[in-house]
Structure 1
């Protein structure tokens, strides 16, 4: 039985089931009323889905005999793709925005998709994992996570499976640690792009909001290099302008920001948010303080996971293009024969691909008349 998920169409689920072999070639489907009851949908819904499947040659409808999976529907030569990630309802996690594009590209390439919780898969013995891989005709694995240190159980486990692995939205350091193919982003350059945009708008005193890491890095910049970057852009590099909190405590970061903005003295003219997902909270803080965006203070986002045009005012951000990350991951997995041998012997190094990023300019950083500490006037 296939669980019907609201965000996925019944048609797409049936295609996936056929492509993964759950409904093998010549499989005989139940009659429409029984099939609709089995899937928990209306007869109209199942009828529309089957009609489309017939039009696209996935199934045959034989008068007096019933509905069957077309004999030619086989698992693609590259096999199906297993997606591993840490599922969570927290919308700050990129997999929410990468997984849909993985499904879309896999469907376009007639590849089946299976998903599994990373922690659950990591508990398998090699023999159990091999059995799951074989039963589901898995030809490659895509992981949506990052920040590997080398002792994660999934690393040696996937090596024993001897199938290609692609890490979606990983860091360049993950490439060296895991030995997998990696679709990454030049996070340092993308973060610099956000700062350059603010500097070009005339800002000099910019607050950086960041999640706290043990090495005190900011978007892969060491603390020393980050201050060098600020100085190179003629931005103030005071440590006081960097506000940090644990990723699990975004509200703490907002409290620190509000307290900082209430301090006496010259107020910063811009805020660089760690990600777009904390921006609604930043907007609320500024609203409580009667600070206008961007007239009193500009706000710059980062990552592009949210629909920034529906912020009020519309948010400027650096879009890391999560959808393209998912598409590239499937492309690399589906064409793994170019760089990976089934025996586990690599014909060449697995690819490290950088997904492009894009600066999105909106009203939240539009130039407004203000005066900085050097008494220079910047205006539209």
Structure 2
């Protein structure tokens, strides 16, 4: 074959002296072609370097065998685990995963939605920026299933698979309270998304059940700088700066609960500089179960998120949607419980 020439079914057919239709059916393992002919065709296709044209095949079959995945920041360890788990599970069922990142930008999300529509994906798994929903409604109008991951958008009336973040925030705060803490500072992201508001709601519920007040200055929103520093989803430096301000006050908190483990790193540095011991002087509880949590000193108590289970469930849910027409009625909400892992930063374990 000439250099740069893409091998076609016609090339294989001419090389073997058979029809193009025979080659097509042999490569598709159709019973109408004998085993010996099928093996000859496959061997010749491999020798000539034949690669199927997926786009052309999707036009014939009416399916791209591709799912789109829109994520905010793939360097977020939780989302990185989701991507890996979903890609593996998609491959197991004969689907490819087309990934796009938005970096919490609505404009980027709109462009991603437009591109996925143009490519004709079979369905979309999305962690939305939760600002605007019209671009996602176009998928529903086109009959393309949409499954939300982690963050809910009620006006979309779409299926959701994610974490019970209310429970996660509740677990973190309740654990600190059970250790005798009566004042807790909650460091959370400055994003107006459901995962953030749910964690704060869980924290407030734990405090209320224990008869403890939530003072105005104890829920602190930490700037994430995601758009300026897109390679890293969170900046421990901002949590460090804010925690430092809190610990300057005479009535300092006895515990910090961080909305993610990176913020906890900022608290660690503040405590070290102030000569405070963790957990003797101040307890620290993280969130996310990031890989470094067991290896910092002291090891970080954190709320682990079931990324692997969510990945499999989300893909399975999408595949079920693809096998049946959309149903009327309320969307399905599947929330997996997180798990608090107790370590030395809250006085337990090592």
Aligned to 1:351: 332
Structure 1 residue 354, shift from structure 2 partner: 0.8
**1:296 aligned to 2:281?**
yes
Partners of 2:297 and 2:167 in 1: CA distance = 27
Root-mean-square deviation (CA, aligned residues, Å) is 3.9
Query: Is the 1:139–1:163 contact (alpha carbons within 8 Å) kept by the matching residues of 2?
Result: yes
Q: Given the superposition, is the C-alpha separation of residues 26 and 319 from structure 1 closer, same or farther in structure 2, using an over 3 Å criterion?
A: farther
**1:262 aligned to 2:248?**
yes
Partners of 1:288 and 1:123 in 2: CA distance = 45
Partners of 1:227 and 1:358 in 2: CA distance = 19
**1:332 aligned to 2:317?**
yes
Query: Is the 1:275–1:302 contact (alpha carbons within 8 Å) kept by the matching residues of 2?
Result: yes
Question: Could you tell me which of 122, 134, 140 is aligned with 1:159?
Answer: 140
Q: Report the TM-score, using the length of structure 2 for normalisation.
A: 0.70
Question: Could you tell me which of 163, 176, 182 is aligned with 1:198?
Answer: 176
Structure 2: state its 5+ residue gaps: 1-5, 13-38, 226-234
Q: Given the superposition, is the C-alpha separation of residues 293 and 132 from structure 1 closer, same or farther in structure 2, using an over 3 Å criterion?
A: same
Q: Report the TM-score, using the length of structure 1 for normalisation.
A: 0.65
Question: Could you tell me which of 89, 93, 101 is aligned with 1:109?
Answer: 93
Equivalent residues in 2 for 1:1-380, closer than 5 Å: 61=43, 65-66=47-48, 68=50, 79-87=65-73, 91-92=75-76, 94-117=78-101, 119=107, 122-123=110-111, 130-133=117-120, 138-148=121-131, 151-171=132-152, 174=153, 176-212=154-190, 219-220=197-198, 227=204, 229-248=206-225, 251-265=237-251, 267-337=252-322, 340-341=324-325, 345-346=326-327, 349-366=330-347
Q: Given the superposition, is the C-alpha separation of residues 24 and 195 from structure 1 closer, same or farther in structure 2, using an over 3 Å criterion?
A: farther
Structure 1 residue 152, shift from structure 2 partner: 3.4
Moved over 6 A (4+): 22-28, 74-78
Query: Is the 2:243–2:266 contact (alpha carbons within 8 Å) kept by the matching residues of 1?
Result: no
**Residue 308 of structure 1: SS of its match in structure 2?**
coil
**Residue 84 of structure 1: SS of its match in structure 2?**
strand
Query: Is the 1:25–1:69 contact (alpha carbons within 8 Å) kept by the matching residues of 2?
Result: no
**Residue 173 of structure 2: SS of its match in structure 1?**
helix
**Residue 144 of structure 2: SS of its match in structure 1?**
coil
Structure number having the greater helix percentage: 2
1:304-337 Cα deviation digits (max 9, x unpaired): 2444212222111111222322222111112214
Query: Is the 1:199–1:235 contact (alpha carbons within 8 Å) kept by the matching residues of 2?
Result: no
Aligned length: 297
Q: Given the superposition, is the C-alpha separation of residues 131 and 205 from structure 1 closer, same or farther in structure 2, using an over 3 Å criterion?
A: closer
Structure 1 residue 165, shift from structure 2 partner: 0.8
Structure 1 residue 121, shift from structure 2 partner: 6.7
Structure 1 residue 166, shift from structure 2 partner: 0.8
